[in-house]
Structure 1
Amino acid sequence: MPSLAHGAAVTATPLWRGLALTLCGAALITLGAKIQIPFWPVPMTLHTLAVFLTAAALGPRLGLAAMTAYLGAGALGLPVFSGSPERGIGLAYMVGPTGGYLLGYWLAAGLIGALAHRRKWVGQTLAMLAGLAVVYAAGLAWLANFVPARDLLAAGFTPFVLGDLVKIALACLLLSGARRWTGVAQ
């Protein structure tokens, strides 16, 4: 009969693994928010790539946990957001013009995780496109509080959609390559 200590170690292992994956996912999302690539008409970050890749790779529970940890760190004032601390940190940033996109990323993380986890690349792509629609819906709805309606698409959609589609393609390629490299079936 296994000892109580042995049983405790067995049940704790998944918790530690989940916590480690959650923190690694949150770190990847932070890194993605901080990396800026020169792009026209505005610089592009790898935030969308990191959120979507994390959600699809970790699934709905851990992908959503990673996004929640990222947003929690930002709410506490840690400089995890794109442009912080230059543009302010904490809750003030989260209720600013990009706050709807942050909410959209959180919603999309759960959706993408549920729809894309352990699917072939077609399913992953469709899941990420659905997630992107959620991000833009939440982002534009919130941005409407800061930008006149006539300028809404020009301010919050048009400059970013092409780059986001490229990031979805890259996320799917990375997932496919990682699964082939590790021998996980698609």
Structure 2
Amino acid sequence: MRELRNYYSSDYNLLFKKYASLSQIIFGVLALAASSQLSIPLKPVPITFLTMMVSMIGLVYKPYLAFATVGIYLICGICGLPVFSKYNYGIEYVMGATGGYLVGCMITAPIISIIKNRPLLKLYFCGQFVRRCSAQIRNKLRVRSGFEYPLSYKFTHISESNISQKFWPVAFCCFIGHIIIYFFGITWLSQFMSLNNAIYNGFIVFIPSGIVKIVIFSYLFSYTKSKAQI
């Protein structure tokens, strides 16, 4: 009887994991489609929030789930569902100027998922460096002020928070992801124009918006993660 119960229990757990993975993929595809519609129209490649959602999927999902989610998103668009920017769809859109960025997203998501748990690759020492610098500043202010509670006391709580510990790894993962996406995007875009124009129109014009998106997303993600204690 116990063996029979264990047998059905294992089957139930396996079925639950399969449905959980399927629901993650469906939610990820819908989120990618929604983020693609939030765009700033530029030529030849618009600015969208798709890269941020790809980073989110890479940071939350396992590598195989991240790859499958972005891959199914591309397949849905190729098959005729309006999931790309401005509700575009079809193989013609994927083979167009933005195709390299879409392929880069599919490769970036599992790579971010792989490196997110590698402390050395995430440059964890950046967080340590920031905390040490803030500690030295507090000590100097404590000595100069001559009070038991230094003037920098209000900054103590912030530096002791683990938000900074999580911000730098997240920002590093997003930075690596964007480099991969831009590499594939520029390589693909160079087939439609000269390499210099592809670098300018496909990378340089996106640098300011990319930095702003990475900083805001990394802070919000690290803040939410620290509050949820994930």
Query: TM-score, normalised to structure 1's length?
Result: 0.86
> May I ask how many residue pairs the two structures share in their alignment?
179
Q: What pairs with 1:51-66 in structure 2 (closer than 5 Å)?
A: 51-66=54-69
Q: Tell me the amino acid that sits aligned with residue 93 of structure 1.
A: Y
Residue of structure 2 in register with 1:182 after alignment: 228
Residue of structure 1 in register with 2:98 after alignment: 98
SS in 1 for 2:86: coil
SS in 1 for 2:87: coil
Question: Offset at 1:30?
Answer: 1.0
Q: Tell me the amino acid that sits aligned with residue 9 of structure 1.
A: Y
Worse-superposed segment, 169-178 or 134-143? 169-178
Asked whether the 8 Å contact 1:29–1:47 carries over to 2, the reply is yes
Residue of structure 2 in register with 1:13 after alignment: 16
Q: Deviations over 1:141-181 (max 9, x none)?
A: 01001012231222211221221222222222232133233
- In 2, Cα distance between the equivalents of 1:111 and 1:75? 23
Q: Deviations over 1:38-81 (max 9, x none)?
A: 89xx8632111111112112232222222112111111111111
Q: What pairs with 1:129-140 in structure 2 (closer than 5 Å)?
A: 129-140=175-186
- In 2, Cα distance between the equivalents of 1:170 and 1:51? 15
Select the residue among 76, 81, 86 that pairs with 1:78. 81
Paired-residue identity, %: 27
Q: Deviations over 1:106-137 (max 9, x none)?
A: 11111111112597332222122111111111
Asked whether the 8 Å contact 2:170–2:222 carries over to 1, the reply is no
- Segments of structure 2 that go 5 or more residues without pairing to the other structure are 120-165
Select the residue among 70, 77, 84 that pairs with 1:67. 70
- Segments of structure 1 that go 5 or more residues without pairing to the other structure are none
Give 1 or 2 for the bigger CA radius of gyration.
2
Asked whether the 8 Å contact 2:58–2:66 carries over to 1, the reply is yes
- In 2, Cα distance between the equivalents of 1:118 and 1:73? 32
- In 2, Cα distance between the equivalents of 1:171 and 1:23? 22
Q: Deviations over 1:3-42 (max 9, x none)?
A: 6544321111111111111111111111111112589xx8
Q: Tell me the amino acid that sits aligned with residue 82 of structure 1.
A: S
The alignment yields a C-alpha RMSD, in angstroms, of: 2.2
Residue of structure 2 in register with 1:123 after alignment: 169
| Alignment partner of 1:163 is 2:209 | yes
Residue of structure 1 in register with 2:36 after alignment: 33
Asked whether the 8 Å contact 1:115–1:123 carries over to 2, the reply is no
